[in-house]
Each structure stands twice: as C-alpha cells, then as structure tokens.
Amino acid sequence: MAANGSEEDTTAAAKISQRIVDLGDWRGEMLGRIRAIVTAADPGIVEEWKWEKPTSPGTPCWSRDGLICTGETHRNVVKTTFAKGASLADPGRLFNASLEGRVRRAIDFHEGDVIDARALTALVREAVALNVATRKAAPGRRARR
C-alpha cells in the first residue's frame, strides 16, 4: 500500500516494461528478449522488482519458489545473474561471468549478441526445478514474494 492508503499504481511487470522503454537502446531490446524467454520457460515464474533505493532504480527479477535470476542493465552489458547458478549444469555454456563465485553465475549479454533461446530456457527450467526441490526439502519455510 502507498502511504496514502491506496494500492501501488505500478506493479513489478509495469516497472520492468517501463525500464525497457526508458533504456531506449539495445539494452532495452536485450532485456525484453531475456524477459520473454525467462517468463515463457515456466508458467509459475513471477516478475519482481527489487532493491529500489535513492541511488538505484531497482532491478528486474524473476522468481519461482525463490529467486531464479535478475536482469541488470549496465552501460555496456545486460547481466542475467542466476541466484543458484553454481549448482546448475550449463551444457549450452551460457555462463560467462561471475564464474569464480560459490553460488551465483551470470551471463553478460553485449550489443549484437544473439541469445541462445533454447539453452537459456533449459537453464531457467533447471533453476526452477532446483528451487522447487529445495522448497520441498524444507517444507517449514515460506516462499518470499
């Protein structure tokens, strides 16, 4: 609820859509393509907008039984970070950033890159399966939304 008691006017999906428009360049197009692939990979995926603060506009996120991945935009890259990427197989060899991390892995997309939609879909589905399995293993925990 907003401070005046009314419902928030903007949803996470609307904020993501607006971010894509506001970028107005290849990064917006790339984020839009990533979003379409991620959300099409599993019907239970929820769009979220996290980490908004005065010094940051916030970050598009996609979740199902926990965070799947984020869609961060930087000056020269659109970074898709998988929350549990180090636990995922990557037969399409998409991960090309944050490879030294113990938990996360990322894909940096640069201007002109072509997204391997089949490999990205498989990676998202594997991340969903991991979250669902982890959730079932810990039934006392509530999903964060």
What CATH number is associated with residue 78?
A: 3.90.1150.200
Q: Which residue has the tokens 């935009």?
A: 73
Alpha-carbon span 19 to 143, nearest angstrom: 26
Q: Which structure tokens are listed for 78?
A: 């659109």
When divided into structural domains, the chain yields a total of 1
- pLDDT confidence bin for 117, thresholds 50/70/90: very high
Residue 145, in any domain of the structure: no
Residue 131, in any domain of the structure: yes
- pLDDT confidence bin for 135, thresholds 50/70/90: confident
**Nearest-CA neighbor of 122 among 38, 34, 36?**
38
Number of other CB atoms surrounding residue 136 within 10 Å: 9
Residue 141, in any domain of the structure: no
Q: Do 61 and 70 form a contact (C-beta atoms < 8 A)? A: yes
Residue 2, in any domain of the structure: no
Residue 67, in any domain of the structure: yes
Alpha-carbon span 15 to 23, nearest angstrom: 12
Tell me the pTM.
0.85
Task: Convert 84-105 to b/e letters by CB count within 10 Å (16 or more is b).
Answer: bbbebebeeebbebbeeeeebb
pLDDT score of 141 more than 80: no
